[in-house]
Amino acid sequence: MSTETLHIDISARFDAFSMYVRQDVPMQGITAVIGPSASGKTSLLRTISGLELPQSGRIVFNGESWFDSVARINVPAHRRGVGYVHQDGRLLPHLDVAANLDFAVKRATGTAQGISREELIDRLELGDLLSRRPARLSGGERQRVAIAQALLTRPRLLLMDEPVSALDQNRKRVVLSLLRQLPERYGLPIMFVSHSIGEVTRIADAAMVMGSGKIVDSGDPLEVLNAYMSGDPLGTERGVILEGEVRQIDPRLKLASINLDGADIHLPDLDGITTGERVRLIVSARDVAIATEATNATSIQNHLPSRVCDIVDIAESAFVDIRLSLSNGGDLYARITRASMEGLGLTVGQTVFAMVKSARLTV
Amino acid sequence: MSLPDLSAFFLTLKLAASATFILLLIGVPIAWWLANTTSRIKPALEALIAMPLVLPPTVLGFYLLVLMNPDSVVGAFWVRMTGDTLTFSFAGLVIASVVYSLPFMVQPLQSAFEGTGRAVMELAASLRASPLDAFFNVAAPASFRGFVTAIVLTFAHTIGEFGVVLMVGGNIPGRTRVISVEIYEHVESLEYAQAHALSLILLVLSFSVLLFVYVFNRRYRLHVD
């Protein structure tokens, strides 16, 4: 067992379900925990933090036992040095925002460098909230304060449970880019629970998928997330995540050209990215069409040569998802109607063009 | 209207203050435990604490009298320790008042602690606050309203007690004759003027206390929401 690891090997029983988790979580970077609701993501975080007691097993953080049912070790939550941003953005109700932050500052321990109160107030835009009580904050405001508060305790591990769910798109982007910097700047590992594939794609260095109280997949975030999305039985969120490098940005056409392993695609409205940056894009099945021959008689700019490798029927609907393998190796999904598929006579193995209408930068 | 003897009045205040202080020490841990426990004996303990609310004070006073009697174990022990009896003494009155007013201290505190909630205590732990730290710096201040209500009600209720006091303490001037007993005494002797004066003091005092509690609760609530 490497020392930079959170070793989890526990079985726990809660009111409604049981959890068996055996996993080594890398204690560097951001590890995303995804999975359907009620799959145990929150319970896992609560158990790691010491707020829930497992039935048996071990939790070892960088070689230090936090819980060991055999050795009868259970380090209480307040001594684990785990920061926790709760789903509900909870704060101390009797204190205003400034005092909430000070509460954390006063109890911070350790010699580790941490982000300062001033920087957090500035970057999370808390300046106008300082004299307000939690009851007078909106959900998004609470979440921002809760993130600052958790960071100010100088945690050794930060657990975040849907920490940006109530933020608007712009703020979400700002907060995620702040989180993105923390592991490197302060050596702070983060475990990040989210149901949003977009959020996770944006920031994860590793990913774990939970299902019915177990870890069902883990590893490289792109592989894990792509497998998770294609495994979605309803196909509601079907799409793929592709990683590429920004080649150039045309300021007149407001178009960025992004190189995805050889194939260039042109995408609009990707504000905030710079040339040379590596970005992850979600290409949703809904935004991909299919042409059986090369054509310029269309408004869609991106035509990627590819091959039909699977046809996934979506039960009870007019649609099918076509899995396309790009000539350079990546996969895409295209959602078209069953009627179009029959009209075009699509079959597995056929060579076609994937027409990518748009893609989301993953926030 | 002649001026009544105020020694009973001051004795009453001394009794209420002593009982409230002791109840604060006893009541806070009990209320905290009740607010947080999942133990199966919780309802039994809650029922026991609420008993003084429904029992006739004479019943409570009778049992306390039996318990404090110098011939009983407790009473005899007290005599040996202090040289004085528990019955018909100020100390006995304080103990009786503590029992009698227990629910008035415990119940508001318990609901205040329950209102603070597990979620907030969990947050305190995540912010590295030890349980004691979290109690004094989170649970207690967040329950400020509950503390004020509990203290004021306990104090006021102790001032108003009669049956228990009469059973346990009797009617010894300067020692156990509290204001409610003195009123009774005046009425028995047909000294209505003195009875009026003392009753009026209690009436005004009680109304002021309750007014304070309600106004305070309202204002504080407005401030928090």
pLDDT digits (tens, 9 = 90+) for A154-206: 999 999 999 999 999 889 988 998 999 999 999 999 999 998 888 888 899 99
Beta strands in chain B (DSSP E): none
Q: Pick from B113, B127, B144, B222 the residue to mutate for testing the A interface (most A CBs within 10 Å).
A: B127
Contact criterion met (CB < 8 Å) for B130 and A78:
yes
- pLDDT tier at B9 (50, 70, 90 boundaries)? confident
Interchain proximity A107–B128, CB inside 8 Å: yes
Which pLDDT does position A250 carry in this prediction? 85
Which residue shows structure tokens 């890398």? A26
Rounded mean pLDDT of A331-352? 91
Q: In chain A, what is the straight-line distance between the N-terminal and C-terminal CA atoms, in Å?
A: 34
pLDDT at position A3 is 63
Q: What are B131-167's pLDDT values in tens digits? A: 999 999 999 998 988 999 999 999 999 988 888 888 8
In the predicted model, is pLDDT for residue A95 greater than 90? yes
Contact residues, chain B, for A93 at CB < 8 Å: 116, 120, 142, 224
Question: Distances from the Cα of A72 to the Cαs of A19, A46, A65, A66, in angstroms?
Answer: 20, 19, 10, 10
Smallest CA–CA distance from A148 into chain B, residue = B127
Dist. CA A154–CA A75, nearest whole Å:
18
| Chain B residues with CB-CB distance to A112 below 8 A | none
Region A244-273: mean pLDDT is 80
- The whole-number pLDDT of residue B4 equals 53
pLDDT at position B154:
93
Contact between B141 and A94 using a beta-carbon 8 Å cutoff: yes
Q: Which of B123, B129, B131 sits opposite A86 (nearest CB)?
A: B123
How would residue A283 be classed by pLDDT, with cut points 50, 70 and 90? Answer: confident
pLDDT at res. A235: 60
Identity of the highest mean pLDDT range in A93-97, A114-118, A247-251, B218-222: A93-97
Question: Which CATH code is given to the segment(s) B3-224?
Answer: 1.10.3720.10
Residue A119: pLDDT above 90?
yes
The pLDDT of A92-107, averaged and rounded, is 94
Residues A41, A213: Cα–Cα separation, whole Å: 8
Predicted local distance difference test score (pLDDT) of residue B223: 40
Residue A96 confidence (pLDDT) above 50 = yes
Mean of pLDDT over chain B = 88
- Mean pLDDT for A325-334 is 83
DSSP A170-215: HHHHHHHHHHHHHHHHH---EEEE-S-HHHHHHH-SEEEEEETTEE
Question: Cβ distance A152 to A117 under 8 Å?
Answer: yes
Name every chain A residue with its beta carbon within 8 A of the beta carbon of B113: none
Task: Give the range among A40-44, B1-5, B174-178 with minimum mean pLDDT.
Answer: B1-5
Q: How far is B138 from chain A (nearest CA, A)?
A: 7
Q: Nearest Cβ partner of A93 from B122, B129, B142?
A: B142
Indicate the pLDDT class of residue A1, thresholds 50, 70 and 90. very low
> How many CB atoms are closer than 10 A to CB B83?
7
Q: Is A64 helix (H, G, I), strand (E, B) or coil?
A: strand
Q: For a pLDDT cut of 90, what percent of chain B falls above it?
A: 43
Quote the pLDDT of residue A259. 85
The mean pLDDT value for A208-224 works out to 92
Distance CA A73, CA A307 (A): 56
How high is the pLDDT of residue B173?
A: 82
* Confidence at B222, pLDDT banded by 50, 70, 90: very low
